[in-house]
Amino acid sequence: MPFSLRPDRMMTAIFSILALMLTAATIYGAESGPAPALRPLASEGSLNLSASDRCPVCAMFPARRPRSAAAITLKSGETYYFCSNGCLLRAWLRPKAYLGKEKAAIDRLMVLDYFSGKPIDARKATWISGSDVVGPMGPAIIALGDAGQLDAFTKRHGGQTIFRFNQIDDALWRKISHRELPEQ
């Protein structure tokens, strides 16, 4: 006996298949990338982490370690939260790979000052790698909002490489992280 469906069940099956195809196209479309955060950065730069926000680089939940979280906001207003400064720097160097966006689409980069925990512009921070501070991804890459605190930080925690944001490139990334980046 050949298989057949009643007309009403056939329509239900067709609509179910179409809904699945539409969902897949939305999730995996040509412009797809990770889901942006539920809530954007506050106007002064405070991170508005949600329990469901995931780091687009490593898939950790930044809300579980809010003292090490960081953020990128696009010119379109979408915000992506990261579990650590290292993941933010990786996304900055390879935004197409990690965000599905071009670097020109990035507007703000916010990190937290190591000492105060207050948000600071990543482009203005003084950065330190190779200290004894450990973050969610292992050895932490630290941001300081006040370069005058560099001496106090290095006396307490050490540090092998001190740099400014505009110095970060593939070679410096490999030096400070000992990790490779995906192809561009």
Give pLDDT, residue 137. 87
DSSP tally for the chain: helices H, then strands E: 5, 9
Question: Above pLDDT 70, what percent of the chain?
Answer: 83
Q: In this structure, what token pair is assigned to residue 57?
A: 């680089």
| Rounded (10°) CA dihedral 62, 68, 74, 77 | 60
Give pLDDT, residue 4. 57
Average pLDDT of span 48-69: 97
Chain position carrying tokens 């992506």 = 80
Q: Give pLDDT tens digits for 92-112.
A: 999 999 999 999 999 999 999
Mode of pairing for the β-strands spanning 106-112 and 119-121: antiparallel
